[in-house]
Amino acid sequence: MASLIVSFSLLFLLTVHTAEGFEEYTVNRCVFNSTEPDDIQYIYSHYYNKREYVRFDSRVGEFVGYTEYGVYNAKRWNEGPEVIQSRNEKERYCVHNVGLDYRTGLAKS
């Protein structure tokens, strides 16, 4: 029984300790007010500790950095295949799903 309590205590301490770390995540989103492809905006953002540091916006057509590290990555990605792939994401990720979401939203309203 004592070893179980010690094991649980160590596991709990490790979990609490790792929860203090930094967090990096990305967000893909589509902004729209109709199903017309020209009205759909695709945004792909990188965040570090809740602060956006680089973004691809389909209306701009390239990556834009908001921090020193973001500017560095934006420059690198705009010169490579990443920018072409991101430009195609609007069609792949947004256009089909926006049609489904729009119809679902209208049906429920």
Looking at residue 44, what is its pLDDT?
96
Instruction: State the pLDDT at residue 12.
Output: 41
Please report, for the chain, the start and end positions of each structural domain, with discontinuous segments joined by +. Answer: 22-108
Can you list the residues of the chain whose pLDDT is less than 70?
1-20, 106-107, 109
Give residue 79's pLDDT: 95
The dotted CATH code for 22-108 is 3.10.320.10
Nearest-5° Cα angle at 27, 102 to 89: 65
Cα-flanking dihedrals φ and ψ of residue 31, to 5°? Answer: -110, 125
